[in-house]
Amino acid sequence: MPNEPGEGSARRVKKIGYPCREFGTVIWAYMGPGQPPGPPELEWVHLPENHVFATKRLHECNWAQALEGDLDSSHVGLLHSNLNKDVPSFSYGWRPDGSYNTIGHHRSPGVETHETDFGLWVAARRPSRDGLFYWRATALILPFYTIIPPSGDSPLHINVWQPMDDEHTLVWSIEYHGGRPLTDDERARLGSGQYAHYGPDDALPATSEPGGRWRSKANRSNDFLIDREMQRTTNFSGLRGFWRQDRAVVESMGPIADRSNEHLGASDLGIARFRRAVLQAARALSNEGKLPPGLEPRTQRVRAVAALVPENESWVDRITALSGARQGEWVPAP
């Protein structure tokens, strides 16, 4: 301190430092106790850059509130739905013959969860044909990585819900393919602003504020640019793009939603299990010094999976068998 006379308190003041490592175009910092367990083994950070498409955006609410939407598979058939019944409401799990997501109770899927060494599987079951069920299993790698299953040979999607403070979250949306480079058509679609990523015209001018490079033109101050004519004629929400629809729902609750009067239903099972897992992990770390699930790098070698499973077979066994991330190997989803 240049204005402190003599030695003053300079010898008593210590700065806090965290070990960092840069790879996969990301700077990783370990902020936990003891020595770092090793660099992350999330599949996308070890792929060539042409296999990956990534964007960021700022959410003005707490990270857990924002993440929970990824664990609610039933919202897709409502929030992201089109009013034209001849047009598929969303881009995955749909077939022209109406199988998988459009048969029977596709808007009310059965939801089950399974705890793992990386965190949690949250799986939604929809009826298919010939005694098969269509299972979509989202992987939650604690604390804040959610991997969404693909359809066919399309890329996987991972969201990183990185807390900035109690009321702001930096969301990394990452699309990647473990077996090949992304095509020009895929990159154009991902950059269009219609799905989980920002479009070229969606961002406000950058500022020097934290997160100031990733602020959206659509926000609470302008009702997320809702289009009432679109809502009457085209889609359920009147909002352009999946990311905007999701963001409007989680941010409209306020920065920190009051859960004291909340009534969770059967479709909220994944959310309830997530909350319990986070609280249990926090208590175990505080009381016993036990590191949370998902921190051990080897447990992060996982892909989210969609599969057709006979009624009398275990979805957990089928999903587990298909979910190991092996770079260069790729089994198309149904």
> What is the average per-residue pLDDT within 315-328?
87
Token pair 């990523």 in the structure block, residue: 197
Three-state secondary-structure class, residue 56:
strand
Residue-level pLDDT at 98: 39
Q: Give the confidence band of 332 by pLDDT, cuts at 50, 70, 90.
A: confident
Domains of the chain: 40-322 (3.90.380.10)
Range of weakest confidence among 193-197, 275-279, 329-333: 329-333
132: β partners: 310
Residue-level pLDDT at 242: 87
Question: For 80-107, what is each residue's pLDDT tens digit?
Answer: 888 876 655 544 444 434 344 444 346 7
Residue-level pLDDT at 106: 66
134: β partners: 126, 308
Mean pLDDT (the chain) is 87
Res. 204: pLDDT tops 50: yes
Q: How far apart are CA 314 and CA 157, in angstroms?
A: 25
Name the token pair of 119: 């965190």
Give me the percent of the chain exceeding a pLDDT of 70.
Answer: 90
Q: What is the DSSP string of 103-117?
A: SSSTTS-EEEEEE-S
Range of weakest confidence among 81-90, 160-169, 239-248, 319-328: 81-90
Give me the percent of the chain exceeding a pLDDT of 90.
Answer: 59
Three-state secondary-structure class, residue 125:
strand
Question: For 245-262, what is each residue's pLDDT tens digit?
Answer: 999 999 999 999 998 889
Q: Give the confidence band of 38 by pLDDT, cuts at 50, 70, 90.
A: confident
Residue-level pLDDT at 94: 40
Q: How far apart are CA 211 and CA 168, in angstroms?
A: 9
Q: How far apart are CA 293 and CA 285, in angstroms?
A: 11
| Phi (first) and psi of residue 112, to 5 degrees | -135, 160
Which alpha helices (DSSP H) does the chain contain, by range? 63-67, 76-79, 184-190, 228-233, 242-251, 269-288, 315-322
- Greater confidence (198 vs 227) lies with 227
Three-state secondary-structure class, residue 267:
helix
